[in-house]
Structures are given as C-alpha cells and as structure tokens.
Structure 1
C-alpha cells in the first residue's frame, strides 16, 4: 500500500479512504472470482485474497505475507479446538443414536398433529453442535416416515426440518460461522449463544408459519430417492437415554452461559472505577498534575491525563473537568464529585491510555497494567480498560493521593472459577468425552474402532478449520488496510442519533447478504463481513452491544440462497424436489428466516442494548 494519504491513478487522485475501499473491492473480487469462476476451494480463495489485500496494505515489505500467517494462526487458535470438538460431538451423536433419541422424544411430546413442530425443534437443537447438512440427512428420513403415516404435508415436514437446522446453524455457536463472527467482533461466546438462541426462536416460528403456508400453496407428494430402500428405524431399546443424549448439547451451553452470567455480574460492579473517597488527597493530586502542566517537557504523565480528558477539545463537559483539575484553590464536594465522575468517564475508559506495555511516560507499570496494555485495544472490554487505567493511576499516585482498589471481589472470584469451567474449549472437550463414551457403550466399540470414528470426524472438521482461519486472516488484512475506518466515514456513525447508529446493523446485514448471494457459503459470508466491520464493533461506537451486529451478520448470510449454495442442493436432492420447487420453497424460507432474525436484532438493540 502507498504509505501516504493521497495516491494517484492516472490523472485522478484518490484519498486514503478510497484506496482502502479499493483494497476491499479487490479482496472481494478475488474471493468471488476464485470460488465462482475458477471453482477454487474456499480456503484457497480466502487465503489468496488475504495475501493480495496484505500486499496492497501499508507495512514493511518483509511483513506482507508473514502477518497473513500470524492472523491465520490467531484465528485457528481461537476457534480451531472448538470446531474440531464440535465435529466429534456431531458424529458421535449420530452414530450412537443420541440424535435419533432427541428427535423421537420431541415427536412423542408434540404428537403426530404437531410433528412439524417436533421436526423443527429437533433441527433447532441438533444444529447447535452438528452441521446443517448432517442434521438434514438425519431428519429427512423421519419426515418421509411421517408422510407415509399421514399421506400429507410432505413439504411442510422437510421445510420444518430446514427451518430449525438453518437458523441455529447461522446464529448459535459452536457452529463455525457464528463462532468466528463472535471471535472477530470480540463477543463473549456465552452471550452469543443466549442472544442468538433468543433471536433464533421467533425466527424459527416465522419460518414454521411460512412452511405451513407454502405447503398449502404448493402441496407435494413424496418421491423416491434413487433405487435405495428407505432406511430401517433403530429400535428404541438400542438408543441411549434422553439425558445422556442431550448432555453433549446442554452441558457446554450450561457451562458457557453460567460463566457469561457470573462474569457479567462481576463486570457490573465496575470495581476499578474511582469511588467517593478513593482520591484521599485532592490538593496533592491536583498539584502534581498542575506541576506537570507547567513543566517545559512536551510529554509527561500529567499533561497526558489532561489531554485525554479534553479529547478533541470541542466537548463542553470534558473542558469543564479539565478546567476544574487545573484551576487554583480547593474544590468543594460537588466539584470533587464532578471531577471524579469525569475521570471515570473520560480517563479510565480510554483504551489507548498506556502506550507502552512496560513503562508509560516515566511511570513503571504494574504487572497487571503491563499485561493488559499488551492486548488489542479494539477487542478490549470497557471494564478491562478501567482496570488497566486504574492500575496506571495507582502506579503514579498511590498510596499518597490515591487509594488502592480491590479487583478480586467475591463475585469476581466466582467468575474466575466459571471462566475456567466455562471456557468453550474445556466445555466442548467434556461434551466430546461424553459423546464418545456414549458411542462406545451403545455400539460396543473397541478403543481402536472409536479412534477410527473420531478420526473420520476430525478430517471433516479440519477443512472447516482451514476455511474459517483463512477467513479470519482475510478479515485481519482488511483491518490492516483500514477498511473499517473507510466504511465508518461513509456513514453518519458518529451521530448520537440511535437511527444513525442502527445503520451499522443494516450495513452488516447487507454486506453479508450480498456475499451470500454472490458465492453461496453462509460461513464465508459471515467471516468476511465480520472482518470488514471489526473496527466498528465496540459499544462506544455502536451504542449497543456488538452481539447484535454479530447476529445481523448471521441473519444476512441466510438471504439469497440459490444454486451456488450447497444447502440448496442438499434440500433439493435429499428432499426429492426439483430445482424450481427448491427455488420456490427453500429460497424464500431462508429469506423469511434472515429478515425476521435481523428485525429481532434491531428491536433488541433498541429495547435491550446491553451497554
């Protein structure tokens, strides 16, 4: 990339933002061209696009390709273990009959009249750890069996299966798409599960209603699938118990969600904020900052404190806090409270406060501050920024003028324990062990046979890991090329109006939908879209939690499924439908699911912003 603000193309001059958008365009053309025209594997297309964008972006020439590898490894490290374990869980649940047990239980609960609800609910649950195509393969025989009993509603049955499988596949981790989106946008996995499931449920209900409508408008008879006989059902006594069958699905959700709840409660304490009485000597505190301001050197800690509070210099409230800090004479109680609140709001929340992870303007940082300062500011939570900056302040002013704070509260200690137990890697490892044990017991497998089964599942999961990691590298290179900032400048994101901030949700939804229509893969669409918008994914910019942006991207990846989507062909061929029938049923169904999910995300962002 040309390392200056203006560059020349022929006789025209383009700005840095325009060049960043050119990098985005070249990257997208590379991905789509390789996938659609050259029929290249998504991994090769994404990793090639990442290298092309990195070559165009700014930076030392010797780092152009090594940073792609670093970003690839970072993404693989974040999601690779989870995807591999999810692949093992999915295959073991299928082979052991655990998935079949879940489906039959749903059918028994809802009865024959509500069998579409049972099929949809089965797909909804099973698609959390199992990929959509596998869920559809599993449930279609049950839908066909239901038609043989009822002699009606065949299209409703298979569309109900597709409804449940598609919606959680794109909104609820640990399936790769939402998992990588959550990772790239720095959204807690547990929160993504909770919010994704909450939004997926009304979307699934809308999809089931639409399926019923299409069944009346386009009633279809079940057709034979080739020359193969219908598979025989496994006897009930050969299936594992319900709770053992559900354990691999429910256990990680329970552990991860518990961690999310307790961590949220601990974060809500805002333990690192300045509280009344924490500044024990206001006179000395202000004197030291005023002495720094009077010093001749251009950079010192006190000057940086005031500059950080002042910001861009146009905010009246910021200017008022800086004025109180620098004015002569003592502050009264009301003024002290005003300054304390201003320090919490403008100083402690500044993610770029310490610029050096070891020392800052002559102040040696504590171990905690040093460790936190090494993290990526764009991925730093507000409570983490407060903790980092409070450590810096205490390094400079405690104990003479500033009291020490207590981070390890009772709630934080509990959250620390659940952070270990609720780590997605650990939670899914426990689930994988349960799923493997269930398979071995139900099918009387030897250890060698079990290992062979696990190896098969890992081979399929390995390809998904490669694609998601390559997508992460592509998104990282778009960030290096400042694509997010260029997109931000195109929209009134800086406006305080909530309607303006909601444009980012429409942006994520729209980009994901365009990518899905163009190249067919929901996972690729989600990964690429989140990479483009990662610089916007902070509560400070959005005005609501980034989880809603993640869900909007997932919703967009459902829009426009047609003949370039593998899911389209799975639905058509396994369901015995013609291409035209699939276009009339599958494609509008996913449009309903995606649109409903997006509207729910917008509504929740307005009503429950979670910030």
Structure 2
C-alpha cells in the first residue's frame, strides 16, 4: 500500500475518534497508531530503516519486529525524551504559582515594561530563550508567567499564550544550535554564523507576522482561562491579590526560571566552542565538565524544581498542603506524558511508512522553483509525521545536492525555506500540540486556531521574506 494512503487513513482515524466519537486523546492516538502500523507492510518498514542508516541485516530485523513491540518502543522513545521534563516542569509551574513566585515575576515585568508591552516582552523573550533551549522547555518555564498575566488581564490570555508560542517555535527551526537548522547548515556547507544571522533576520520577520495574527485572533476569539489539574483559576486569583510583602523576592522567584536556561545554554555553547578540541586548558575542561552534567535538561530542571519547591515550602510551611500540591502537579504531568507519548507513537508509526522516501520519489517528477519546492516538501513531511526536525532532515536529503548546482543566491535561503516549511501544519501527531493543549487548558479546536494556524501564518510570511531576500540580497 502507498504510504500516502496509509497516512490519510491514520489521519482520518484520529480525527474521527477525537472530533466525532469524542474519545480521549490517548485512546484516539493509540488507535490511529495501531491502524497505521497494521497497514504498513514489512517492505516499507525495511525501506524506512535503510533510509535512516541501518545496515541490511539490522533493517531486516527491524522490519520483522512485532506490531505491539514497535508501538511500545515508539511510545517509550517519546516518553523517555519528555517524561522527566514534563514531570519536573509541572512541579516547577505549580510551585511558582502556589508560592506567588510567578505573580512576583509578573509584577516586576509590569512595573518595568508596563501592561501594554507585556505581550511584546513575552514574544522576544521566548524567541531569544529558544535559540539555545528547546521550545518545549521554554514553554514549560513560561506557562506559569502566562497564567499569572492572564489572571490580571483575562481578555489577553490568548495573546500572551500565542506570543510565547510564536517566539519559541520559529527559533527552534531557523537558528542553530537547535538540531534541525544545525543539521541542514552542516549538510549544505553553510557557515553557522551565516545561518544564525539569516535565521535571526527571517525569524524576526516571522514572529512579527505571528504577533500580528495573535492580536487579530485574540480580538476575534475569546480564549478563556480554565482550571487545570495542578491549579484552579480561583486559586490563581487568590494569589494575585496577595500583597507584595507576602510574596517571595523577585530574584528568588526568577531563579527557578533563569538558572536552568543558564545551565542548558552554557552546555550548548561549551559544546560549540570546546567539543573535540584537545588543547583545552584546565579551566576550559572544568567548564565543559560542569556544564555537561548540570546543563543536561533533566538535571537542570531537577535543580530548578528543588528551588521552586523550596519557594513553595517557605510560603506554605504545612506538610499536608505541600504534599497535596506536589501530588496534584504529578497527576497533571502524568496525563500530559500519556497524551504526548501516544502522539509521539502515532508520529513514529507514520514515519515508518517511509513517507520521506515516497515524497523524494514524487519530487523527482516535478520541476518547481527551488525555494518553494524546499518549503512545500518540508511542509508535507511535517504534516504527515509530526516532527519538525525529521521533516528538515528528510527534505535536505531530497534536495541537499542542489546547493552545488550554481544557484543565483546563497544556499542559506534554501536552509531557511526548509526551516519555515517545517512549521506547516502542526496538529495532533505532534507532541508539542498536546503539551500546549493540556498545560494551557485549551480544547483541540482552540489549539488549532491558536497554535497550528499561528505557525502557518509565520511560515508563509517567512517564505515570502526569503523569496524577496533571495532577489534583493542574493549574496551569490
């Protein structure tokens, strides 16, 4: 069976289960993953395995793995990547909100920038933070601030949420050292400095377009703040009415947010500057060792969680309340981990159909302008299997050789077109879709408006800017 048909069937199953039958997302995604895996014959799985770099014997063995085991491994792979992070992030978020730390950060932000500029501050803060740090981690750390701002101005909750999303997602696909743009730049032989400058330039244009859509969407659709399992809206309102003297200090409140970002960023840049070098000084080796341990996202957020729990304990000082809040945080995290892992399993089953190979075959039969072609191929792969990074890696495998074909413009424009294409269309086979849905209290249709369409607007704005830039500033 053609991979495209399998993907269409899998997509239809998940949409029918969630939108028509109203089944829980976990059941719907696992059922869609099961149907997709059942319809995928061993020869397609074998072809997918070969395309990922496996040897013939290893690929043959992979194609003969039982359906249940493939599904379980895919579920476990996603859970292994995000499970600990989500659990710790939930504890950090709950602790910051219960302790008043998030409220203290918001009051400090509003005092410095004013209410009118708070959404713009969130937009550029998220964009900057997501350059060295994965979007998911940035979102985990920013969601308490979004909720605290939303309590003060409920009508702008959707705007605050979309501002953080808009800033974070574009940096993830356009600016090294995140894996997608880093891999594309290295494959095409593009200098990382050039890729970073181009990514920041196009990224700034896209997030401004996204912010424009966010303001329009916020006026058109009212996104209410809803209670989530870790904290209710009523409890958030009570915290927002507390006097400044009863809140923790601003520096202590910022520490659980800033410290993990510092550690993760330090690890990223120490790898960039020192990894692989043999002539390091004792100081440089020590810095690299410290950041490689403490800068691992799981360890960095674990340290942050301890600091956040200390903040909450210093306010509550009642063990029963403290234990109850941690339990609620972990209960909320457990459901998010289940949903995102099920979404990841569905996405991996879609990948194993060999959709990347199929798109490569189709692209050989069509002669399109290279920039729109790079964008469209990436968009199709992203929509089909859910991962922006895999979509970028797949596309560069299809068109990577074009960089040596005497282009009339710098190949960085192709890399940027691929990055923008990876933002269309993020939906239910993307783990980030479910993280945002569950942690913000949105319904699936609301997430499509405030996340999926937002990304599409930014991606198209980016493509337009790239095509204009390739004509006006070719740098060939």
Question: TM-score with structure 2 length normalisation?
Answer: 0.65
Equivalent residue for 1:96?
99
User: Partners of 2:271 and 2:397 in 1: how far apart?
Assistant: 18
**Does the aligned pair in 2 maintain the 1:475–1:530 contact within 8 Å?**
no
2:138 is paired with a residue whose SS is coil
Equivalent residue for 1:277?
none
Equivalent residue for 1:167?
166
Equivalent residue for 1:441?
314
Taking a change above 3 Å as real, the CA distance of residues 231 and 266 of structure 1, as seen in their structure-2 partners, is closer
Equivalent residue for 1:420?
293
Equivalent residue for 1:138?
148
Equivalent residue for 2:81?
78
Residue by residue over 1:415-462, the C-alpha shift from the partner in whole angstroms, topping out at 9 and shown as x without a partner, is 45422221111111111111111111123342x432321121111111
Max radius of gyration: which structure?
Answer: 1
User: Partners of 1:606 and 1:437 in 2: how far apart?
Assistant: 55
Q: 1:253 aligns with which of 249, 261, 264?
A: 261
Q: CA deviation at 1:32?
A: 1.9
**Does the aligned pair in 2 maintain the 1:87–1:461 contact within 8 Å?**
yes
Equivalent residue for 2:15?
32
Residue by residue over 1:189-248, the C-alpha shift from the partner in whole angstroms, topping out at 9 and shown as x without a partner, is xx9xx9999977654544555666789xx7999x9x9xx999462211122222222222
User: Partners of 1:414 and 1:478 in 2: how far apart?
Assistant: 41
User: Partners of 2:81 and 2:13 in 1: how far apart?
Assistant: 25
Gapped regions of structure 2 (runs ≥ 5) = 43-59, 130-135, 185-191, 227-232, 404-411
User: Partners of 2:449 and 2:341 in 1: how far apart?
Assistant: 34
Taking a change above 3 Å as real, the CA distance of residues 51 and 137 of structure 1, as seen in their structure-2 partners, is same
Q: CA deviation at 1:478?
A: 2.7
Q: CA deviation at 1:265?
A: 2.2
Equivalent residue for 1:459?
331
Matched, 1:21 2:29: no
User: Partners of 2:289 and 2:108 in 1: how far apart?
Assistant: 37
Equivalent residue for 1:506?
376
Question: TM-score with structure 1 length normalisation?
Answer: 0.52
Q: CA deviation at 1:526?
A: 4.2
Equivalent residue for 1:553?
422
- The answer to which structure has the higher helix fraction is 2
Residue by residue over 1:138-191, the C-alpha shift from the partner in whole angstroms, topping out at 9 and shown as x without a partner, is 3233125xxxxxxxxx6xx45642432432565578xxx99xxx7899989xx9
Taking a change above 3 Å as real, the CA distance of residues 526 and 254 of structure 1, as seen in their structure-2 partners, is farther
Gapped regions of structure 1 (runs ≥ 5) = 1-17, 145-153, 272-406, 516-524
User: Partners of 1:415 and 1:548 in 2: how far apart?
Assistant: 34
Q: Across the two proteins, how many residue pairs are aligned to each other? A: 405
Taking a change above 3 Å as real, the CA distance of residues 530 and 602 of structure 1, as seen in their structure-2 partners, is farther
Say what the alpha-carbon RMSD is for the aligned residues: 5.4
Matched, 1:57 2:41: yes
Q: CA deviation at 1:51?
A: 2.1
Q: 2:69 aligns with which of 66, 70, 83?
A: 66
